[in-house]
């Protein structure tokens, strides 16, 4: 394969990557536009429900709570492993050789 064909194949693969990225951006922009149009067409009661759902989904306290629970679960797991290893060594005294 000549260097020209290699260069063309590189450009074609890069063009395909750029095209895919642009289509993903286009889809996300379309989804966001549809969401904004739905918000504009919503009644005040529906709009309040949308705002409450958005607040609930973006609540930083949920992240903090999950981290705390995750940390607590990790600490509980460590304690359980330590208890298991301690009880195992208590039951099995070292053998004299």
Q: Which domain holds residue 33?
A: 25-58
Element (H, E) at 86: helix 60-91
16 occurs within a structural domain: no
pLDDT in tens, 35-66: 899 989 999 999 999 888 888 877 777 777 77
CB 8 within 8 A of CB 1: no
| Separation between Cα atoms, residue 5 and residue 97, nearest integer Å | 73
15 occurs within a structural domain: no
How many domains does one find in the chain? 2
32 occurs within a structural domain: yes
Q: Model's pTM, two decimal places?
A: 0.45
Please identify which residue in the block is written with the tokens 């009644």: 43
7 occurs within a structural domain: no
Checking if the pLDDT of 3 tops 60, the result is: yes
Residues 67 and 48 in one domain: no
């Amino acid at each position: 394969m000549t260097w020209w064909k290699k260069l063309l194949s590189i450009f074609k693969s890069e063009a395909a990557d750029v095209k895919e990225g642009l289509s993903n951006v286009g889809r996300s922009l379309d989804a966001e536009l549809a969401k904004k149009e739905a918000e504009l067409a919503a009644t005040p009661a529906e709009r309040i429900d949308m705002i409450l759902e958005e607040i609930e989904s973006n609540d930083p306290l949920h992240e903090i709570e999950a981290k705390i629970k995750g940390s607590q679960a990790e600490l509980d797991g460590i304690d359980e492993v330590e208890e298991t290893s301690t009880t195992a060594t208590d039951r099995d005294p070292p053998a004299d050789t």
